[in-house]
Structure 1
Amino acid sequence: MLKRGWWIIGIISVGICFSCKKNNEQEEQFPFRLEGVSVNGTADGFAYADVGPLPVIRLNFSTAVDRASVSQGIRLVHGEGAQAAMEVDYEDGDKTVSITPQERLSSFSQYELQLSQALSAAEGGTLQNPLAVKLATAIDSVDKFDRVSDEALLTLVQRQTFAYFWDFGHPVSGMARERNTSGDVVTTGGTGFGVMAVIVGIERGFITRQEGYDRVHKIVDFLHTADQYHGAFPHWLDGNTGRTQPFSAKDDGADLLETALLMQGLLTARAYFDAAGEQALREAITTLYEAVDWDFFRNGEQRLYWHWSPNFAWEMNLPITGWNEGLIAYVLAAASPTYSIAKTVYDEGWARHGAIRNGNSYQGIPLPLGPDGGGPLFFAHYSFLGINPFGLTDAYANYETQMKAHTAINRAYCIANPGGFYGYSEDCWGLTASDDINGYMAHSPTSDNGVITPTAALASFPYTPEESLKALHFFYYKLGDKLWGEYGFKDAFSLEDAWFADSYLAIDQGPIIVMIENYRTGLLWELFMSVPEIKTGLNKLDFSSPTL
């Protein structure tokens, strides 16, 4: 059984000492101490991992235990505080106490066998300081849900994930809440993902076309009244009023990349709602897109900037430069019929005259673009919910090769597991930005703390279909009792720390439903790549694609 480092660090040093006596003579006469601990025959200190559901825990004391004190002095407690009933046996003249739970312990949970000062020796004396043996139960290999066909499972994942955007959409604005605890705070980019999810919902029969049209129209009408800055929207809005909710102290104005992700979804919807009676929605979306002053966000330079604030102007000073999730901003900017950018802005600002290239190999896999190890996997998702990377090339890369390599490197890194994190395997992989046991973190091969995020593997279905399916099976069938919930898969988990998030994030749920659909039918890719302005923009930037 392997120790988990966090336990070793976190366990308070425990002294096993003589109980307080009236005099030193009594202490010497009745020494009472714990001399050894073993779990299922393995002695490994005070922390044990991979523990089975019915462990045998043996406690070896220096002298006989007072049996009457055991019920109060030894307790088996679940991490959530509930006490588990125990069977207690005695050996070696009551100097060895054997503990076994009466019922099977929950899989992949934390327990403590707690020894308190109430525990005493038969001849007198107690443990002066309490101590605990920490147990982490193993993954239960039993399926948590009945097996269904893979097609049915993909539909189930899409349906449940869709509910985040549909059932949990803001009642006034229709926009996507940032996360399941956000109240009235709605997210611009996540709403773009949500609009694309609505299209999937219609095509999959989760809602009617009219219901979907009404929801998107509601969102668009709200956006026409919401705060805009040179046509761009802030990262967060109040879903009731449309007023800006600052993302940080100086991020209280436009967020160009969030706006780009929103426009990606809206232009996809404009292509989808193509009936004569749906013209008003199409025109309203066009008005929003054409109002974005992409050229303004150059700040007079040959690059796009992420933020602008009415109070702090350009003080955030964050250019959108490759390689990351920002390609969509340059494509939409080049495609704009009103405030277009020149190709030189793309070449200098995004591609940095070719410095965007990587060319090194990681895990034996050549990586065309990006940071060492590829970076978090959302780089391969956000811009490519609409942009089809298959067959897409330009002067800097073959984007199909890039997406497949980035994903394969991420998975291969998890399998190699240089950090030695518990649970990583060919079925349990995927590093990207998500909630984290310590807050929020952009996980990647160069920034890894044992947290796996389901959207990483599941939104990669188009690139690694067999490998993503294995991950889906593991997440749903093996971890589903802890990872699957009302709105699909919870945001993240760590088998290393026996931690499962209780959160859902729009920017993680959206890519799951959209990219699974792109894998199954190519629907969102077909719609977005059919947009006339997008064809113009990609051609302007000298992209080649079978769809152009």
Structure 2
Amino acid sequence: MIRISVLFLAFTFFSCGSNADKSKENVQENTSGVTALTDEQLLDAVQKQTFKYFWDYAEPNSGLARERYHPDGVYPENDSNIVTTGGSGFGLMALVSGMSQGYITKEQGVERLNKIADFLGKADRFHGAWSHWIDGNTGKVKPFGTKDNGGDLVETSFLVAGMITVREYLKDGSEKEKAVAQKYDALWKSVDWQWYTNNKNVLYWHWSPNYAWQMNFALEGYNECLITYVMAASSPTHTIDAKAYHEGWARSGGIVSSKTKYNIPLILKHNGAEEFGGPLFWAHYSYVGLDPNQLTDKYANYWDLNVNQTKINYEYCVQNPNKSAGYGPEYWGLTASYSRNPDGSIGYNAHMPSNDQGVISPTAAISSIVYTPKESVAVIRNLYENHKDETWGDAGFYDALSLGNKWVAKRYLAIDQGPEVVMIENYRTGLLWKLFMNAPEVKQGLTKLGFKSGKYGIQ
């Protein structure tokens, strides 16, 4: 499992975040009538409050998303200015959502987006790709690990998916909006996806100017990296051959699974998690812009794939074989997040049915709302109405909970808060899916890889 092997373990040893002062452009919260909220009002309250992560608590110099935000202001290594590339991609989509919903004005959003584009244009890049972490003060790479001090293609793909979404949102606007759209257009087109094949029919996650290809992580499915191949195939400047997708990612057809759990087909082989499927962020990260509705190729129906993974995760929590306190229809959802160490301290773990630590991550159910609306709303309503004092803070629900142990990680991560905002928006309006999927290059890239989508006329 690629991210569990690299990203998750790295999180165990590195900690970064922010002690953010609220900006003057605060988003107002409506705290009245908690138990009287309709589903739509409840979703709006969660979306608006979670949006604050990317607005009030963004890294001030760059405008990008901090890797993490600790409301108590306690951060190891004094690294509160470190920003995350992938989480900032989700943040770009969140800014579009915030403008559309009226949480901020369009003028405010465009000003922030312009600031971000200028920063990214000057930040360290490695054959066009950004690093996993960036110093928000200097734009220099912040090593994610000793050898992980160069380009991170997966995080870059999350970022450029956000860039394309921003471009599509602004491209027909005012002259200033068009100018900002052009900046994002130029940035995403300068990524050299072809370089990251290392002259093979597969993409590689990392390249370092000091360690070259020593990380040696080929992107083979299935995990969260589908969007990386879609972006690489969509590039009009540095595209990859479709063989990289079919022979590399799809393992020449070996990606397909015939296994079921709870009589639900898994459809694809989840790396290292073939019995139950992986952590639920695998159903989120690639699909914040990539609309799985009616999306198919010769390996999968991607709507069924994601719905099934979510339902397996849900069923596992409802059946609760480990007898974890509280698990059930209103308290479920396993994915990577902060975690409870055996001594009660806060760590990080890739929660999933095959690695159940008794910790629920709110982003798991919330970001799955497009797939399981009834089940997801049940969790949101339970936490908001029955456990708000323990679980709700400055930027929405805290990152991880073990209510049976009376434990809450009162911290936030960009890669968890971002999909919440974006997927709630997609559930409510479909806006971010529509913007991304209607980008001409995305349609061309999907066609190149053999995808079909009747919803967007991709045949």
- TM-score, normalised by the number of residues in structure 2: 0.87
* Deviations, residues 163-219 of structure 1 (Å, cap 9, x unaligned): 010001111100000000451000001111111001111111110011111111110
3-state DSSP class of the match of 2:230? helix
2:282 corresponds to 1:385: no
Select 1:351's aligned residue among 235, 238, 250: 250
* Deviations, residues 147-171 of structure 1 (Å, cap 9, x unaligned): 3111111111011000010001111
Select 2:86's aligned residue among 178, 181, 189: 189
Residue 276 of structure 1: CA displacement? 4.2
Select 2:158's aligned residue among 261, 279, 302: 261
* Deviations, residues 252-280 of structure 1 (Å, cap 9, x unaligned): 11100000000011100000012141221
Q: How many residues align?
A: 406
Match of 1:55 in 2: none
How far, CA to CA, are the matches of 1:337 and 1:350 in structure 2? 21
2:331 corresponds to 1:432: no
Give the conservation status (yes or no) of the 8 Å contact 1:190–1:510: yes
Paired residue type of 2:368: S
How far, CA to CA, are the matches of 1:357 and 1:419 in structure 2? 29
Match of 1:525 in 2: 433
Mapping of 1:408-487 within 5 angstroms?
408-438=311-341, 439-487=347-395
Gap runs ≥5 in structure 2: 1-31, 71-78, 342-346
Residue 144 of structure 1: CA displacement? 11
How far, CA to CA, are the matches of 1:545 and 1:201 in structure 2? 28
Larger mean Cα displacement after TM superposition, 374-383 or 174-183: 174-183
User: Structure 1 residues 415, 228: CA separation in 2 closer, same or farther (over 3 Å shift)?
Assistant: same
Paired residue type of 2:226: L
Give the conservation status (yes or no) of the 8 Å contact 1:197–1:510: yes
How far, CA to CA, are the matches of 2:386 and 2:404 in structure 1? 16
Identity of aligned residues (%): 51
2:112 corresponds to 1:204: no
Residue 347 of structure 1: CA displacement? 0.3
* Deviations, residues 249-306 of structure 1 (Å, cap 9, x unaligned): 1111110000000001110000001214122112211211111110100111110000
Match of 1:336 in 2: 235
How far, CA to CA, are the matches of 1:415 and 1:354 in structure 2? 33
2:277 corresponds to 1:374: yes
2:177 corresponds to 1:284: no
Give the conservation status (yes or no) of the 8 Å contact 1:144–1:480: no
Paired residue type of 1:540: K
3-state DSSP class of the match of 1:201? helix
3-state DSSP class of the match of 2:68? coil
How far, CA to CA, are the matches of 1:362 and 1:146 in structure 2? 36
Residue 480 of structure 1: CA displacement? 1.1
* Deviations, residues 3-29 of structure 1 (Å, cap 9, x unaligned): xxxxxxxxxxxxxxxxxxxxxxxxxxx
Match of 1:248 in 2: 145
3-state DSSP class of the match of 1:418? coil
3-state DSSP class of the match of 1:508? helix
- TM-score, normalised by the number of residues in structure 1: 0.73
Match of 1:306 in 2: 205
How far, CA to CA, are the matches of 1:431 and 1:357 in structure 2? 23
* Deviations, residues 440-498 of structure 1 (Å, cap 9, x unaligned): 11111111111100000000111001111111111111111100111000000113422
Task: Kindly indicate which of the two structures has a greater share of residues assigned to helix.
Answer: 2
How far, CA to CA, are the matches of 1:419 and 1:359 in structure 2? 26
Match of 2:55 in 1: 166
How far, CA to CA, are the matches of 2:105 and 2:174 in structure 1? 17
Match of 2:214 in 1: 315
Residue 242 of structure 1: CA displacement? 0.2
Give the conservation status (yes or no) of the 8 Å contact 1:222–1:242: yes
User: Structure 1 residues 524, 238: CA separation in 2 closer, same or farther (over 3 Å shift)?
Assistant: same
Gap runs ≥5 in structure 1: 1-142
Paired residue type of 1:366: P
Match of 1:401 in 2: 304
2:52 corresponds to 1:153: no
